[in-house]
Copies of this chain bind each other. A is one copy, B any other.
Amino acid sequence: MSTPTSYHLPWDEFRRQGYALIDWIADYHEHVEQYPVLSQVAPGEIRAQLPPHPPQQGEPFAAVMADVDRIIMPGVTHWQSPNFFAFFPSNTSGPAILGDLLSSGLGVQGMLWLTSPACTELETHMMDWLAEMLGLPEQFRSTATGGGVIQDSASSATLCALLAARERATGWAVNQRGGTGQLIAYASSQAHSSIEKAMMVAGMGRENLRTIAVDEHFAMIPEALAAQIAADKAAGLTPAFVCANVGSTSSNAMDPVRAIGEICRAQGVWLHVDAAMSGTAALCPEFRWILDGIELADSFCFNPHKWMFTNFDVDAFFVADRKALIDTLSILPEYLRNTATGSGSVIDYRDWQIPLGRRFRSLKLWFVIRHYGVEGLQYHVRNHVKMTQELAEWVRADDRFELAAPAPLNLVCFRHKGGDAVNQQIMDRLNRSGDLYLSHTKLDGKFTLRMSIGQTEVRREHIVAAWAKIRAASQP
């Protein structure tokens, strides 16, 4: 394995190990249904099997892979199982895995255009492709005033949007002097926790995030937003940021982007549209209603690493005015200066994000889009939505259960009519069985089961089986 003169893995040996690992991954995906979906280990059980001290001498690859099978795998919750229905999809695919492997193999840093022009230019191009595929308006493209960038997560995209909003609202004063007590942000009661977290990180304070009421479908009530903004202005505060959710995590609620956008435009407030969960649906023209009014937004994000067969991390974050974002996040120390940057003719993505470093993440998007084609991606989105709608019908038709929210796309929120304890018990039984994995939320104060349908290999038979098991688990 290692030799005293180098210790490096010889590349011939890398080939052999690499083939074996490729086979391991293919075997894993072919047999993923054999594992309990939710890992059944107790806290500390994995660590207890690991040696307390690092090895002084190198060990053979086979020993490591044996420990992967023996120690690691029992501690894995199988997000790629077709019986994984919890939280949100985090679907991957062969082309994404290979694109990511190429990125690892090249090992380039894309912090500046100069440090690998292809890393920056392919990313810009993929973001423009995605803008076209989703029907985003012109201003979100690099060829106009805006453009896209890959963020690690929607949390980071939201934070970057909030920071740009903070600076725009204060004439770039907070970056200079700090202190933000008068700035107010708005999101619905159903908005993702990342907005509250971003308020904390940005030094704006969670108390300055206003929770806007929702309607019976858990969508933000625009009139309530307008009233709150007016009240804050009257109190001498500065409304700076609104986050609209297109597909809330809790129930897939759809905030009305157009009505919210009109209020934001009239009031000069930054509108960020967080479509992390559901933006992928806009690949299909028949689902583009979810983004109606998106031309009124200042920023937008969705997660190909949730529902577009591309493994984490790829959040696609778009801004209508890239200058506002860059002016907020740019720092240029001497050791990063170079002719290309100085000329202003290139994008340096370090100025579009919090970290400095970045890997070649657009490769996996490129591999996925070219493998599936737009048509293949649309096929799967439609299929997931169709299966979800069928499940919603089954819930409606069973008088022991009820839908807890509309199921506009690929999430069904439902509950047994027997109350919280019964629903908790159904979930615990199913998750402990290892047959499938569901998660929950609270809607109208009630414990509610969530079934999210978007895994790569999920087929109708899995939904049929899951529904049968849910009904069986609801027997006393």
Known: A105-B25, A373-B58. A46 touches B122 (CB 8 A): yes
CB-based contact B18/A25 at 8 Å = yes
Nearest B residue to A336, CB-CB: B193
* A258 contacts partner chain B, Cβ-Cβ < 8 Å: no
- Inter-chain CA distance A355–B193, complex, in Å, is 11
Q: Can you pick out 10 interface pairs between chain A and chain B where the beta carbons lie within 8 Å of each other?
A: A18-B19, A24-B105, A44-B345, A54-B129, A57-B373, A73-B118, A76-B118, A152-B152, A155-B355, A202-B202
- Inter-chain CA distance A79–B107, complex, in Å, is 7
* A357 contacts partner chain B, Cβ-Cβ < 8 Å: yes
Name the B residues within 8 Å of A358 (CB-CB): 312
This protein's copies in its complex: 2
* A159 contacts partner chain B, Cβ-Cβ < 8 Å: yes
CB-based contact B11/A26 at 8 Å = yes
* A125 contacts partner chain B, Cβ-Cβ < 8 Å: yes
Q: How far is the CB of A3 from chain B (nearest CB, A)?
A: 10
* A206 contacts partner chain B, Cβ-Cβ < 8 Å: yes
Cross-interface CB contact of A201 among B14, B176, B202, B334, cutoff 8 Å: B202
Name the B residues within 8 Å of A376 (CB-CB): 2, 7, 57-58
Known: A8-B457, A179-B205, A313-B357. A369 touches B55 (CB 8 A): yes
* A211 contacts partner chain B, Cβ-Cβ < 8 Å: no
Known: A95-B9, A181-B177. A46 touches B118 (CB 8 A): yes
Which residues, 70 to 103 on A, are CB-close (under 8 Å) to B? 71-80, 87, 90-98, 100-102
CB-based contact A11/B94 at 8 Å = yes
- Count class of interface residues, chain A: 35 or more
* A121 contacts partner chain B, Cβ-Cβ < 8 Å: yes
**Bitwise interface map of A from 353 to 391 toward B, beta carbon under 8 Å scored 1, else 0:** 011111100010011011111111001100000000000
Which residues, 8 to 65 on A, are CB-close (under 8 Å) to B? 8-9, 11-15, 17-19, 21-26, 28-30, 38-39, 41, 43-47, 50, 53-59, 61, 63-64
CB-based contact B64/A367 at 8 Å = yes
CB-based contact B207/A178 at 8 Å = yes
Name the B residues within 8 Å of A24 (CB-CB): 102, 105
* A474 contacts partner chain B, Cβ-Cβ < 8 Å: no
Q: How far is the CB of A388 from chain B (nearest CB, A)?
A: 18
CB-based contact A9/B102 at 8 Å = no
* A425 contacts partner chain B, Cβ-Cβ < 8 Å: no
Name the B residues within 8 Å of A46 (CB-CB): 117-118, 121-122
